[in-house]
Amino acid sequence: MNKVQRVSSLRAAVQAARKDKKTIGFVPTMGGLHEGHLELVRVAKRRADFVVVSIYLNPTQFGKNEDLDNYPSTDEEDARNLAELGADLLFLPEQQTMYPGDLDEQTVVYVPKIGDMYCGTDRPEHFYGVTTVVSRLFNMVQPDVAIFGNKDYQQIAIIRRMVEDLAYPIQVVGVDTVRSEDGLALSSRNAYLGMKEMAVAPSLQQSLRDMADVLREKASVVSKNALKSLEDSIKTSLKKKGFKPQYITVCRRSDLKPAKKGDQELVILAAAQLGKARLIDNLEVTLGEVK
């Protein structure tokens, strides 16, 4: 596996692969790689002939008083794991490469509406940073296919919208969330959980499963008032376990707008603080589906 820092070196390697008739797969990351990230690389290897992985801790998607300075960094271990999986190129851009000017004067890529909800409400700078950095990386790598985890459900929906609106010739592929045996979604931020919090954290996913059971059993619950009552009940339950819920919402998968009566393809989105860790999770639900 080759490692490069310069965009010119990155593009030379990608162009050489294209000359050999290879398709280009891309997995953007911020480092601190865990099994969930590695699964994205495995999927990229199946989807493309030449796989580029980037590691760049993007400051523009962190708000004030967030965990940028303490974000897990395991660069040497990350590189070893990527090489073992057969990644072809590791792109390690420096700050000046990604943002050559003052951060306050950079062009920003913004996806309205869908980026203003849920995590966009609690973290208003976050998705501006995500779409801006992903747009820049797409222009640098110019992949045929880009792989993202479905754990960040709203993020991948926003990236798909950006790709469509800006006419990027890129297929965006979502990969199912990788979980520990107890159901906890793997995340770099799980490192912030203490032992007691680790024992409680799987309750977030279990709560979504409980909500899904109610939705499947009582389709009539998909009305504004009934959904709010269900969501509030789950929030109350999570608070008793030590969580500080930010949102628990039943949405339409197509556009992430709140579910309405008659909608069948749904997703439950959730974000909650547990100790120092901000956990997000989701669960797709199809009404009329027997589980």
Please give the Cα distance from 205 to 182 (Å, whole number): 9
Whether 37 is a known active-site residue: answer: yes
Locate 217 and state its tokens. Answer: 């059993």
Please give the Cα distance from 150 to 160 (Å, whole number): 12
Phi-psi map region of 249: left, alpha, beta (phi>0 left; psi -120 to 50 alpha): beta
Q: Is 118 exposed, middle or buried (0-12, 13-18, 19+ CB in 10 A)?
A: buried
Among the listed residues 14, 37, 160, 285, the single catalytic one is 37
Locate 241 and state its tokens. Answer: 């376990």
Please give the Cα distance from 228 to 244 (Å, whole number): 17
Beta bridge mates, 172: 146
Q: How far is CA 192 from the centre of its chain?
A: 18
Sign, CA torsion 157/281/182/196: positive
| Active site (catalytic) residues | 37
